[in-house]
Amino acid sequence: MTKNYLKEYDAAADADKYPLVQKWMKTEPLPFFKQLRAERPILVTPECTLLALFTDIRDALQMPKIFTVDLYKPKMGVTDTDEGYLMAHDDDALHYREKSIMQGMLNRDDIPRVRKGIQDSAKKILDDANGSIEIVNNYCRMVPAIMVQEYFGLDGIDPQKLLKWSFWNQYNTFHNQPFDLNPKEKFDYIVDEHAKCSVELVDYITVLMVRKLLTVKIKDRLFGTALKVINVLRAVVKKEPIVLKDDIVKRMLRTSFAEQVDFPLTRIGTNAGGLLIGAVETTSQAVAQVMQYFIDRPDLLAQAKAASLKEDTSDIDAMVWEALRFVPISPYMFRQASQDYTLAKGTDRETTIPKGTNVLTLTQSAMFDTYAYENPDEFNPDRNWYHNFNYGFASHDCLGKYVGMAMIPEMVRQLMLRDDLRATSTMDYKDGPFPEEYHVAWS
Ligand code: HEM
């Protein structure tokens, strides 16, 4: 018999209601969300309001001035004197400007080259491991850290520092909110660790910018004209042009913006830091959880192995995206209402959400709504990508999504290519929000 979550919820004392919801979201999200969609698609708890239907979630996420990211502001450096990071801005000039500049910098034409880089670093780590590895620290976190150094250009630093900075930043932003119910001591500890990391990160980025700026200015000036001449000659003999070494930080520094664009060096620095923060812990969690999902299901493991052997990666890519619907990095995205707003007007579920309410848009539930997908409980890699929320939705959708869409499946694929792949431990979260330890072996 299916469990009746709402009956238990209604019978609980007020103080116990949201803790129950939180427990179910962590341990049994899919049946809980199914009941919400069927019986109470807008659940008003004493702590926050949950939206469970695809249409309501899509609607809310498309109104960033009403369902805001204000909860990001204290976590992303927004103060009276500092604008902080673009992600903490809703549909304003800064967000519009910087998101579009950064989308241009992360030129999608780079993706095949980026994927090849991921393939090489992933393969090398696995070759060197000689048949067994703890994947979370040595692979799931390390491969994106290498990408951050080589492609984004945050180099000349111990990768362990990059991992630490991404970890505490992500922890404080996404898992230290009022609805995470962390006791005060734990809350303060996470805030402190993040604050220490922010100081280190700013120091590092400052030195990085000076170093790269000098390299770019001096090398471009010294070799720029000479290279142009050489490349004209090479073109005559149909040889590939020689290009100066490029990465995203250098690319940003090489680009000159008119003053009126308002993208000075300080904003380049802030955005360089954002690339790191977004890339590591998200990718690590996604790869670790997908690996566990496949390894725990021998049929899917065999199917994923067969797909990985193909030169065309579209089958393994689709399998990985479908797996992430079942094990996303978060079952929701959170927003805060900036005004009273009545959602789902004219329906049975019409609800007024008062100003200041924290709202959990249950994006995992949206991906199991029959509005989005037929037979949503079935694993089926052949699904419409536009109804997938793993990279967010609307104006805040993920800046790094095309990098992630290449990186995550390629990392899974390189593991799948090993023969007789198996887990030699369970996955350990060590009481935190992220996978911390998972051992695998192969023949
Ligand atoms: C590869 C490097 C990555 C970078 C540089 C990156 C960066 C970003 C940035 C800057 C945003 C905010 C965009 C905005 O506010 O307009 C964002 C949003 C988001 N990213 Fe990423 N990200 C990366 C990888 C990932 C991965 C691997 C995942 C999950 C599998 C992910 C999931 C998300 C989600 C769900 C959002 C939306 C958050 C919200 O709406 O509140 N990202 N990302």
Return the domain boundaries, the chain: 41-441
In the chain, pLDDT over 90 holds for what percent of residues? 93
Does residue 283 have its Cβ closer than 6 Å to ligand 1? Answer: yes
Please tell me whether residue 292 adopts helix, strand or coil conformation: helix
**pTM value?**
0.96
Q: What is the mean pLDDT of residues 84-104?
A: 98
Tokens of 294: 């496949």
Domain covering 41-441 in this structure, CATH number: 1.10.630.10
Atom of ligand 1 nearest to the CA of 106: 5
Across 123-145, average pLDDT: 98
Single-letter amino acid, residue 423? A
Please report the pLDDT score of residue 431 as a whole number: 94
Rg (CA), the chain: 23
Dist. CA 404 → ligand 1 center (Å): 9
Contact 64, 373 (CB under 8 A): no
Answer whether 391 contacts ligand 1 (Cβ < 6 A): yes
Question: DSSP letter at 343?
Answer: E
Compute, in angstroms, the gap from residue 326 CA to the centroid of ligand 1. 19
3-state class of 183 per DSSP?
coil
**Helices 184-236 and 159-175, packing angle to 10 deg:** 130
Q: What is the pLDDT of residues 279-320, one digit of tens each?
A: 999 999 999 999 999 999 999 999 999 999 999 999 999 999
Give yes or no for residue 61 CB within 6 A of ligand 1.
no
Using a pLDDT cut of 70, give the percent of the chain over it: 100
Closest CA to 137 of 443, 433, 439, 406: 439
Centre of ligand 1 from the C-alpha of residue 192, in Å? 23
User: In one letter, which amino acid is 326?
Assistant: F
Cβ of 87 closer than 6 Å to ligand 1, yes or no, is yes
pLDDT tens-place string over residues 372-394: 999 999 999 999 999 999 999 99
Q: Does residue 409 line the site of ligand 1, with CB under 6 A? A: no
C-alpha 283 – ligand 1 centre gap (Å)? 10
Q: Is the CB of 396 under 6 A from ligand 1?
A: yes
Closest protein CA for atom 32 of ligand 1: 391
Residue 439 · residue 132 · CB < 8 Å:
yes
Does residue 110 register a pLDDT over 80?
Answer: yes
Measured distance CA(431)–CA(329) in Å, rounded: 16
State mean pLDDT over 124-139.
98
Read off the pLDDT of each residue in 206-235 and give the average, rounded to a whole number: 88
Distance 278 CA to ligand 1 centre (A): 6
CA–centroid distance, 122 to ligand 1, in Å, is: 22
Q: 229: pLDDT confidence band, cut at 50, 70 and 90?
A: confident
pLDDT tens-digit series, residues 395-441: 999 999 999 999 999 999 999 999 999 999 999 999 999 999 999 99
What are 264's two structure tokens? 């000075």
Pocket lining: 325 vs ligand 1, CB cutoff 6 Å: no
Taking the CA of residue 285 as reference, the ligand 1 atom at the shortest distance is 30
Cα dihedral sign for 181, 184, 187, 189? negative
Contact call for residues 140 and 411 (beta carbons, < 8 A): yes
Q: Is the pLDDT of residue 244 over 90?
A: no
At residue 1, the pLDDT reads 65
Q: Measured from the CA of 286, which atom of ligand 1 is nearest?
A: 30
Q: Is the pLDDT of residue 345 over 80?
A: yes
As given in the structure block, the two tokens for residue 146 are 């290498």
Q: What is the pLDDT of residue 85?
A: 98
**For the residues 205-214, what does the mean pLDDT come to?**
96
Bridge partners (DSSP) of residue 68 are 336
